[in-house]
Copies of this chain bind each other. A is one copy, B any other.
Amino acid sequence: MSLDRELNLEAPFKDPQHETVLNIVRTASVLAGVGDQLFRQFDLTEAQFNVLFSLKYNPQQVTQTDLGRRLVVTRASITSVLDKLEAKGLVERQDVPNNRRSYHVVLTEKGKALVDEVEPHYRRRVHQALDGMDERECRQLIRLLERVRVQASLLQDEDVENSRAG
């Protein structure tokens, strides 16, 4: 649905629904770009930062599957990102007692130090990106987005046949 990020006005659509979708996708993409650009300065990818960040704020016993659930990413993706992070010494896979199937994923000292270093910059970026929007406007935006998300979630498993019927 990211579809055409082209917000060019030669638009094939003039209806507000479609413009809205484009705007959501495009804005997310710009925000992602800002994040990427920041993380790269610390030799991190966005996916890697996400894991470090999540671990910092969820220091409980966390398995790879847990991480995947939280970051909304498949187990396979987690495996690959953790491989990179572990190679850099930012993260460790620890054996779980009485369970030889899972690992607990934990930040190393180095990993903790790095995420602590990046975090303030990240927070600053977020605030700058939303600069000029007061709390009321933020809440409004969130409320509207939540509605879209709920509606969209209902479409997840729809196939073309159903769609014709609907």
Hey, which bits of chain A sit against chain B, CB under 8 A?
Answer: 1-6, 8, 10-12, 16-21, 23-38, 41, 46, 49-50, 53-54, 56-58, 70-73, 121-133, 135, 137-142, 144-149, 151-160, 163, 166
Contacts and interface: CB of A to CB of B under 8 A. Distances in A.
Copies per complex of this chain: 2
Contacts of A148: 27, 31, 129-130, 133, 141
Nearest to A159: B41
Contacts of A166: 124, 128
Contact of A23 (B1, B34, B122, B145): B145
A126 B8 contact: no
Given A1-B31, A37-B155, 16 more contacts: A1-B34, A1-B126, A2-B46, A3-B53, A5-B72, A17-B129, A17-B138, A23-B146, A24-B27, A24-B145, A27-B146, A29-B72, A30-B152, A38-B160, A128-B155, A131-B151
